[in-house]
Amino acid sequence: PAIAYDPPFPAGSPHLRAAQVLESNWTGTSTVPSRGLYPHQWSWDSAFIAIGLRHLSPLRAQTELETLLAAQWADGRVPHIVFNPSVPLDAYFPSPDFWRSSTAGRAAGAPRTVQTSGIVQPPVHALAAWLVHRADPGLSRARGFLARAYPRLAAWHRYLLHRRDLGGGSLASVVHPWEQGMDNSPCWDAPLARITPAPARSFRRADLDHGAAEDRPTDLDYGRYVRLATDYRDGGYADGTDATGGFAVEDPAFNALLIASEHALAEIAHELGATGSARHARAERLTAALVERLWDPAEGMFFCRDLRADARGPDGGHGRDGTRGPDGARGGVPGGALIPERSVSGLVPLLLPELPREIAGALVATLAGPHFGLGRTTRLVPSYDLLGEAFDPHRYWRGPAWFNTGWLLERGLRTHGERERADALREALLRTAEESDFAEYVDPRTGEPCGALGFSWTAALTLDLLH
């Protein structure tokens, strides 16, 4: 499917430059996040990319999602990477020969013909599918786009809500930092500290061929990522067993995206002639569970819940204040403890329109307060607490601002009637994306580009904000 520039974008315009990034990262069936660093298809990247592509070519946007969903496993999981067989194995680590999806993932129903990873990423897909449909409902209906996507998206949500409810409180858990998508967030430091790293000589990182080492996770982080993924693989990618024992976290952004996507799935069901009311009701119950398990009223934001914190002895709860018992569980909420690190993930639930008013108000105050500094000390939302000990404005998810979280918060602010703040954030996102050559992430205070340039979701979400 070709991109039609109609009316044509003026030369040098942000529209055209963003479109050119997406054009050069298109492989024919999907879009790579960036040519050098990430030469395959990534799950949540594709969802954000489709949201932008729909303005250039609704057909290409549908194809992007269809290619990803075609790699879905029989148990419902949508893999975080779909590998391109024509890319050399050593171009990205971990490669297909590490994940061994078609053999190690056989019991979980991995596809036979395409190689994938065995972990997942945040479920932005139903939301993306609904937005893509709305860009050209005629084309979507003629191709049966939603009718074909719906059963796959429903199975995906079923997997997350059942197999991944490891805490028993209705929320989905992630079993690897790569699943949550913010790989080296300081939120993972405590849960990862319990994991014995794989020896550095047992693998070779390919990311350092493309990115500056000081902008990327450390070798020690990688050792732990490899250990967790190896254990999960060697357990046949089965959930709820000892193989997933090492790391299990309920994350606010992951679950907020699941809720937003559940609402989108209700709209899709309705469009297909069914009633979406059961899904809307489920999304509301999930919102209540999110508040019950992850909201901290004293801090005015959501936190991650470390389900394995109990395993760590007397200080395992690592509670920060008197609101938690000695085991770290707050207000009788069973299972693990909140992780006392402020991540942008804890603000993302602002996306949800049905969030209680006082919670939305508190999130806006936190966003504009000293820890995130929006409109004061930062021009974009940092991925992590400006005042946190681990804050580093250049190192990946430990401080830099990312455009996907910025886009989600812009939407959240608008949803909750914060028009001025939303307009200001929109302006800052557009200006920074353009000035940074559509960087992967930037210094949140200065906008200085970090990581890859010509990054697909930065370009795609720029296009969406321009429309």
Instruction: Please report, as ranges, the residues that interact with ligand 9WN according to CB under 6 A.
Output: 33, 38, 42, 44-45, 80, 178, 181, 183, 207
Contacts of 347 (CB under 8 A, 6+ apart): 301, 302, 363, 366, 367, 372, 381, 409, 412
Residue matched to tokens 């991650």: 304
Tell me whether residue 140 or residue 173 sits nearer to ligand 9WN (CB atom): 173
What type of residue sits at position 8? P
Q: Give the nearest distance from C-beta 277 to ligand 9WN in angstroms.
A: 33
Q: Give the nearest distance from C-beta 358 to ligand 9WN in angstroms.
A: 31
Phi then psi for residue 126, to 5 deg, are -65, -40
Q: Give the nearest distance from C-beta 403 to ligand 9WN in angstroms.
A: 11
Q: Give the nearest distance from C-beta 42 to ligand 9WN in angstroms.
A: 4
Contact 221, 184 (CB under 8 A): yes
Residue nearest to ligand 9WN (CB): 33
Tell me whether residue 119 or residue 283 sits nearer to ligand 9WN (CB atom): 119
- Gap between the Cα atoms of 171 and 161, Å rounded: 7
440 is catalytic: yes
Other Cβ atoms closer than 10 A to 103? 11
Which one of the listed residues 341, 440, 443, 464 is annotated catalytic?
Answer: 440
Tell me whether residue 207 or residue 267 sits nearer to ligand 9WN (CB atom): 207
Cis (ω within 30 of 0) for the bond into 7? Answer: yes
| SS3 at position 173 | strand
Q: Give the nearest distance from C-beta 253 to ligand 9WN in angstroms.
A: 11
Tokens describing residue 48: 């954000």
Which is nearest to 178 in space by CA: 129, 249, 275? 249
Tell me whether residue 33 or residue 96 sits nearer to ligand 9WN (CB atom): 33
389 is catalytic: no
Tell me whether residue 21 or residue 359 sits nearer to ligand 9WN (CB atom): 21
Tell me whether residue 188 or residue 391 sits nearer to ligand 9WN (CB atom): 188
Q: Give the nearest distance from C-beta 91 to ligand 9WN in angstroms.
A: 12
Tokens describing residue 420: 């001025």
Contact 71, 56 (CB under 8 A): no
Which one of the listed residues 64, 183, 207, 267 is annotated catalytic?
Answer: 183
Q: How far does CA 293 lie from the centroid of its chain?
A: 20
Pairing between β-strand 295-296 and β-strand 301-302 as defined by DSSP bridges? antiparallel
Partners of residue 26 on adjacent β-strands: 31
Other Cβ atoms closer than 10 A to 236? 16
Residues with a known catalytic role: 183, 440
